[in-house]
Amino acid sequence: MIKVISAAVFAALFLFGTTLSAHAQDITLTSRDSKVALSGTLLGFDGEFYRLRTEYGELTVDGSGVLCEGPGCPNLQAFVAELSISGAPTLGAVVMPALIETFAQKHDYLTEREEGDDSTTFTYLIRRAADGNLAARFHFRVTNTDEGFADLLADEADIVMSLREIRPDERSRAREAGMGDMTGLNRSRVLALDAIVPVVSVSNPVRGISPANLALVLAGQITNWQDLGGPDVPIDLHLPDDASGLGQAIVDQLLRPSNLSEFSEKATRHANPSALAEAVGTDTFALGLTSYADRGSTHALMLTGACGFSMQASRRTIKTEDYPLTAPMFLYFPARRLPQLAREFLAFTRGPAAQIVIRRSGFVDQTPEEIEVEEQGNRFTNAILQAGTEITLGELQRMTSTLTPMARLSTSFRFEAGSVRLDAQSRSNVQQLARALEVGQYDARRLLFVGFSDGNGASEANREIALRRADAVRRAVSEAAVTANLGRVELGVDAFGEAMPMACDDSTWGRRANRRVEVWVR
C-alpha cells in the first residue's frame, strides 16, 4: 500500500517516466521511522538511489533514508553496478572495450571478458584489484544503431552506441517515455570522430570524385567509370548494410542533399566493414562507401568540386570538419542516474588518456590541436584566387594580418541546415572547449572566434551573419565554462564572411563546409 510520502524523508525523489525493465521485481521502501512506505516495481539501483515504477510514474528515491523489503532488494554490502550498452559494433567491438580496459588499469580494477550466448553479446566483469570482489558488470549487445535505440526505448539499454544522430521519431518516443531530450545537454556525447569515404582499389586509375557524382553513383544513375574520368567499364558498387548507422549516415549526407532517396539495386551490401574493404581492394573496378577507420588497404578518393577545390580525408581534416562527410560516433543516455562506477567511466572517456586510446584504435580523437599557418596548406592562397568582386584587397589584407600571427585550433563549429542551432559535433565541441577553459588551458592567451560564410548573397550581409554566428559560439562556450575564470583569458570575435572558402558554393555540401566558425589562438 502506498502512503503519503513525506517531503522530509524523500527529499531527493524525482518524477521521470513509466518504462519497465525486463528484470523488475516488486519491493517496498520504508522510511527508517516506519511512518512512510512506498511500494512499486524496482527498475534499477545505482548504489545510492532506487529507481521505482509506481502508480505515480517512475520515481527515483534516495536510498540513505529508506529500508528495502522484497525479493528484488539489492545487497547493499556487496553492490555490483550493472550497465547495459547496445548499438553499433564499430564502437562495441573496438573502442569501448579498449576504453574499459584502460579505465580499469588506471583506477585499480581488473577486467574479465565473458562471451555471451551468441556473437553479438558479451560482458565485462570489473573487479577491485585490492580484494578481487566484483564491482560492476558492463553488458554489451552489438548489433546496429537501429537495434541500439530500440533497446533504449524498451528500457533494455542504459547507453546507445550510434554512428548517426538520433532520428526525430526516436527522439520523440524517448521524450514520451520520460527519457528527456536525447539531443540535450548530458543526453548525448560525441565519443570519437570518423568519416564517410569513397574507396577504390589502389589499381584503379580514378583518384577523385565530386559529392554530386558520388550521390548519382549511389542512386544507380552513374554506372560506368567513363563518366568519372576512368575507363569504359561498369562500376561495381559496395555499400554498408542499410540498417547500420554508417549506411543511414550515407543517406543523410549524400542522397538527401541531392534529392535522391533510393540506392542502386545492383549494390552489394556488407554487414562487416572489413569484408567491404577486402571486396573493393581486390577488384580494380569496384567503388565502395565505408568509414575512414575501416578503409583497410583500399585507396580513399579525394572529394572534388567544379571550381577547383578538393579535399582528402585525413585525421586533421576530419577533426576540423574541413572534410565535409564527417561521421561522429555518439553515445546517448536516458535522463536517469547511472551507477557511480559507470559515471566515473564516462568521465574518463572525456580525458586525455581516453583520447590516446581512441587514436590508437584507428579513430579520430577530439584533443584540440594548434595548427600554425604554415601547416594549413594553401588556404590563404585559395582565398586570393577565389575572391569575387565583392571581396576587396583591404578585406583580404585585414584577414591575413589578423590571422597569420595566430594558430588555428582544430576545434570548429558548424550549424544544422537552415538553423541557428549548432550541429551535434559542434555541441560536443562547445563542452570540450569549455572544459579546457575551466582547467586553465588557455589562461593568459587570446581566443578569437572567427566566422565564415558561403558566397550566396551580398558579401557584407554574409559577413554580418558570420559575425553573429561567431558571437553565438563564443557565448555558448562562455556559458558552458561554469567554473572557468574568464578574466584570465581574452575571448574575441571577428568575421571574414566568404573570404576564405573551403569548398565550391555550387553544392549543398560545399556551402555547408564554408559556413563555419573557427577558433584561433595566440
pLDDT in the model for residue 186 = 79
Taking alpha carbons only, the member of 512, 502, 495, 500 closest to residue 449 is 495
Q: Which residue has the cell 588551458?
A: 441
Look at 277 and 66; give whichever has higher pLDDT. Answer: 277
Amino acid at 340: Q
Look at 76 and 262; give whichever has higher pLDDT. Answer: 262
pLDDT in the model for residue 152 = 93
Sorting pLDDT into bands at 50, 70 and 90, what band is 22?
very low
Task: Give me the mean pLDDT over the 185-197 stretch.
Answer: 90
| CA–CA dist 433, 411 (Å, integer) | 8
| CA–CA dist 123, 84 (Å, integer) | 9
How many CA atoms does the CB half-sphere of 100 hold within 13 Å?
A: 25
pLDDT in the model for residue 310 = 83
pLDDT in the model for residue 5 = 42
**pLDDT tens column, 139-188:** 999 999 999 999 999 989 999 999 998 999 999 999 998 888 888 877 88
510 is written with which cell numbers?
A: 560545399
For residue 15, pLDDT beyond 60: no
Q: What percent of the chain has pLDDT over 70?
A: 95
**pLDDT tens column, 474-494:** 999 999 999 999 999 999 999
Q: What percent of the chain has pLDDT over 90?
A: 56
Q: Spell out the domains of the chain, with CATH numbers in brackets.
A: 14-69 (2.30.30), 81-191 (3.40.190), 196-319 (3.40.190.10), 368-521 (3.30.1330.60)
For residue 423, pLDDT beyond 70: yes
pLDDT in the model for residue 4 = 41
Return the SS3 of 506.
coil
| CA–CA dist 71, 25 (Å, integer) | 7
Sorting pLDDT into bands at 50, 70 and 90, what band is 418?
low
Sorting pLDDT into bands at 50, 70 and 90, what band is 65?
confident
How far are the Cα atoms of 439, 456, 498, 514, 515 from residue 505, in angstroms, in the given order? Answer: 39, 8, 10, 8, 10
Sorting pLDDT into bands at 50, 70 and 90, what band is 470?
very high
Sorting pLDDT into bands at 50, 70 and 90, what band is 18?
very low
**pLDDT tens column, 321-338:** 889 899 899 999 988 888
β-strand partners of 192? 329
For residue 471, pLDDT beyond 60: yes
The per-residue pLDDT of the chain, averaged, comes to: 88
Q: Are 32 and 66 in contact, with CB atoms under 8 Å apart?
A: yes
For residue 450, pLDDT beyond 50: yes
For residue 508, pLDDT beyond 70: yes
Q: Are 127 and 134 in contact, with CB atoms under 8 Å apart?
A: yes
Task: Give me the mean pLDDT over the 83-109 stretch.
Answer: 94
